[in-house]
Amino acid sequence: MTTNRVTQTPVPPKLACASACANIALIKYWGKSNAGKNRPAVPSLSLTLDALRTLTRVEFLSDLEMDEVTLDGVALDSGAGGRARTRVVNLLDRVRERAGIALHARVKSHNAFPTAAGLASSASGFAALALAASVAAGLEPSRADLSALARQSSASAARSLFGGYAVLEADAESAEALAEADHFPLSMLIALTRTGPKAVGSTEGMQHTARTSPFYPAWLEHAPILYREAKRAVLAKDFATLGACMEQSTLMMHSTMFAARPQLIYWAPASLRAIESVTALRKDGIPAYFTMDAGPHVKVLTLPEHAERVAQELERTEGVLSVLRSGPGHAARLIESAEFDDALGRAANEKTQTMGDR
């Protein structure tokens, strides 16, 4: 059989699955740079975590009239789901443009951690989506390309392309690896203090802070100083200095929000109680340090040998609903469809069992 169609590029695989872990910033980014395209105003340093993992499957199909996006079995279409869908479609559009394809995609994403808790899943979500969509579209991007692609959707997602410690410089296109997890193995405990999604998204929160907080210029000046000190501490495996920098970065970031007009307070009463538990542990000689992001949950960094003691202390804290235990996570990677299907099947089973237990 002959055909008069000439294909110069190889036929894209059309389907790819990826796994990526969320990361928690030890040194925070808060505020966009004037360079545009969602670049950060200040440098940040993160640890990627294995307990917060997203699996995503992307398939480009010729018979779809629009992109179909499903998160944990629920189609994203209207309301808050509509906003999330738009962010996904925008990333797909950038991939389609680069690959020169016009096909729509079926995207299925699964968060292997409690999404109802309002934990930031955008970092793992957009890192997994950037990888799966690029490969499904037949692109062969570098890790830096993928990091830049994810950054345009969520700047913290740029860091989730890397395992262990990653950095994202101010104004940077993409994040970079700083150190492997086994260079300085640490544990993180995540104390969940409230259920439900956050009231103010991080982009909106940052813009409001930059516009109205008199502390924002001080943040821009001091955040890079803390970043440089923390980076040296990771490389030197100096936990006490890293912990002190992390707590100061957290409180400086939240202070800029407290001073905004109107104020922006992500904290719940239990957030402060969890912080008090951490400082009490330190007085007892347990090395543990807290951090918080754009939400009420408290994340605690400690050495692996103290993780269980810290977790128990947090679990005993009034208002703490549950505690997730995490070690360092892997860099974003491709997975087989079978692994994706298994994870989805297991999640569906667990859901049925939990409902049966009620």
d(C-alpha 22, C-alpha 300), whole Å = 15
SS3 26: strand
Do 76 and 190 contact (CB within 8 A), yes or no?
A: no
Number of Cβ within 10 Å of residue 346's Cβ equals 12
Site residue total, ligand PMV (CB under 6 A): 15
Closest C-alpha among 5, 41, 24 to residue 218: 41
Q: Does 25 interact with ligand PMV (rule: CB under 6 A)? A: yes
Q: Does 29 interact with ligand PMV (rule: CB under 6 A)? A: yes
Query: From the list 156, 213, 291, 326, which residue makes contact with ligand PMV (rule: CB under 6 A)?
Result: 156
Give me the least distance between CB of 348 and ligand PMV, in Å please: 29
Nearer to ligand PMV (CB atom), residue 14 or residue 258: 258
Q: Does 28 interact with ligand PMV (rule: CB under 6 A)? A: yes
Q: Which residues in 188-207 contact ligand PMV (CB under 6 A)? A: 202-203
Name every residue whose Cβ is closer than 8 Å to that of residue 308 and which is 6 or more positions away in sequence. Answer: none
Stretch that binds ligand PMV, among 73-81, 137-145, 148-156, 309-317 (CB under 6 A): 148-156
Number of Cβ within 10 Å of residue 204's Cβ equals 12
d(C-alpha 231, C-alpha 179), whole Å = 10
Q: Does 154 interact with ligand PMV (rule: CB under 6 A)? A: yes
One-letter identity of residue 350: E
Q: Does 291 interact with ligand PMV (rule: CB under 6 A)? A: no
Instruction: Take residue 330 and report the two structure tokens written for it.
Output: 């892997």
Stretch that binds ligand PMV, among 25-33, 67-75, 102-110, 339-347 (CB under 6 A): 25-33
Q: Does 44 interact with ligand PMV (rule: CB under 6 A)? A: yes
Residues that bind ligand PMV (CB under 6 A): 25, 28-30, 44, 120, 122-123, 154-156, 202-203, 293-294
